[in-house]
Amino acid sequence: MSTIRAKDRDAVIQSLRAGVVPRVGQHLIQVGRAGELSALMADVDCLADGGSAFRIVIGEYGAGKTFFLNLVRAIALEKKLVTVNADLNPDRRLHASSGQARSLYAELARSASTRTRPDGGALPGIVERFIAEAKSVAKSQGRSAEEEIRARLERLAEMVNGYDFADVVWAYCRGFDQGNEQLKTDAVRWLRGEFTTKTDARNALGVRTIVDDASVYDQLKLLGRFVRLAGYSGLLVCLDELVNLYKLANTQARQSNYEQILRILNDSLQGSAEGVGFVLGGTPEFLLDTRRGLYSYPALQSRLAENSFASGGLIDLTGPVIRLSNLTAEDFYAYGESTNYLIPDDGLTAFMKHCSQRLGDSYFRTPRTTITAFINLLAVLDQNPGTDLSDLIGEIEVQRDLGAEDERAISQDDEFASFQL
């Protein structure tokens, strides 16, 4: 077992203690849900082969949706996909008329990540890789770089807004060759959806359109095709907190967003969104509520309905909806170097029993509370040597029949974090 670096260990512990998903080191704490993860990995492989994918990941608050989406993103990056991600909120929607959809696209574009730029901001690098790929092919075929670039950009022209998208990329190419930083900056601003008026875009780049509320999905499909032209395997779009659509008070606004989800679902199932995949995260009520959830839209209900044969413990992970299964008690147990344990094995068992009695079924369905409590417990034990565990977790009897060789000062377990957030 390899030793975890102190930097990675501390980052994971601090994130888990705050109840948020770590930005790095997700693989260190991934346990359980092997079937669900395998299904998403198959989707990533499908995207890498030029296919499309659509999944809705359903789980309670704290059940691990965000962690699961982040883990899938990390896998996609290793498969040479470009990933974009954003959380929906009142100012970010899939469909709107007052800039909320454009705001969502802008956030997605800013978060664009590649294997070499996993923390976002990769869009300029993607464009420059497109230029480099085109120049390399042109040189090998004895053609001019301009001729090859234009030939590749013509593949975008057949799509909605494709002409202007190609013109903007060509403007970046000119700026790249001429050392014109302003032209490159304006091109990236347009690709990120940061222009708010067509006049500004026309003055800066000579194009007549901008990314607006009505064109967000079309722009994502354009971006998906472009990243493939740049040499990447495809585009994975991860959207979390879709429960915010469920919370929209305006019925028409809610239905319009559900119509957009239906459009994305249809394109994915029919193979129209080549090289583009969507993974959406939401809560059970967002899906199942027949008054305000996705099931309130008949066309979505019929497409997202569960397999009636998958009952009595049987599962089907091939459908568009993946429900995060409950973790088992074994999934929560820590592992690592026994010499570094702050809590003996029987003490850990007592803590798990304590959580089960206090939290009941949610102890498995929403492990965030259990994990946060365990890290807080470790922090107190680490900083207060000699503290009795039974005093901290209630009246539970804790056996401390430790051998003499185990009664020594021990530090926090480097690898306690074999937990699912």
Least confident of 215-219, 222-226, 357-361: 357-361
More confident residue, 387 or 156: 156
- Confidence at residue 421, expressed as pLDDT on a 0 to 100 scale: 33
Per-residue pLDDT for 341 more than 60?
yes
Alpha helices (H) along 271-330 = 284-288, 298-304
Residue 375 confidence class, pLDDT cut points 50, 70, 90: confident
Tally of domains within the chain: 1
Integer Cα distance of 196 and 201 in angstroms: 8
Q: Which of 1, 19, 6, 42 shows the shortest CA–CA distance to 411?
A: 6
Asked if residue 384 belongs to a domain, the reply is: yes
Asked if residue 89 belongs to a domain, the reply is: no
Mean pLDDT of 228-248: 95
- Determine the structural domain holding residue 347 and report its residue range: 1-30+337-421
Residue 383 confidence class, pLDDT cut points 50, 70, 90: confident
Unique residue bearing structure tokens 């990933």: 83
Integer Cα distance of 416 and 412 in angstroms: 8
Asked if residue 375 belongs to a domain, the reply is: yes
- Confidence at residue 94, expressed as pLDDT on a 0 to 100 scale: 96
Distances 195 to 86, 186, 189, 190 between C-alpha atoms, Å:
19, 9, 7, 6
Q: What percent of the chain has pLDDT over 90?
A: 57
- Confidence at residue 400, expressed as pLDDT on a 0 to 100 scale: 35
Residue 363 confidence class, pLDDT cut points 50, 70, 90: low
Given a contact cutoff of 8 angstroms between Cβ atoms, the answer to whether 81 and 297 are in contact is no
Residue 395 confidence class, pLDDT cut points 50, 70, 90: very low
Tokens matching residue 280: 């959406």
- CB neighbours (10 Å) of residue 265? 21
- Confidence at residue 407, expressed as pLDDT on a 0 to 100 scale: 37
Asked if residue 166 belongs to a domain, the reply is: no
More confident residue, 214 or 361: 214
Mean pLDDT of 394-418: 37
Asked if residue 416 belongs to a domain, the reply is: yes
For residue 296, the number of C-alpha atoms closer than 13 Å in the C-beta half-sphere is 17
Asked if residue 142 belongs to a domain, the reply is: no
Stretch (H or E) spanning 276: strand 276-282
- Confidence at residue 168, expressed as pLDDT on a 0 to 100 scale: 95
Per-residue pLDDT for 206 more than 80?
yes
Asked if residue 393 belongs to a domain, the reply is: yes
Q: Which long-range contacts (CB under 8 A, 24 or more apart) does 377-380 make?
A: 377/343, 377/351, 378/342, 378/343, 378/412, 378/413, 378/416, 379/17
Round the average pLDDT of the chain to a whole number and report it. Answer: 83
Per-residue pLDDT for 40 more than 60?
yes
Q: Is 416 helix (H, G, I), strand (E, B) or coil?
A: coil
More confident residue, 367 or 189: 189
Give the pLDDT confidence of 109-144 residue by residue, as tens digits: 999 999 999 999 999 999 999 999 999 999 998 889
- Confidence at residue 408, expressed as pLDDT on a 0 to 100 scale: 38
Asked if residue 75 belongs to a domain, the reply is: no
- Confidence at residue 366, expressed as pLDDT on a 0 to 100 scale: 59
Integer Cα distance of 29 and 417 in angstroms: 5
- CB neighbours (10 Å) of residue 342? 20
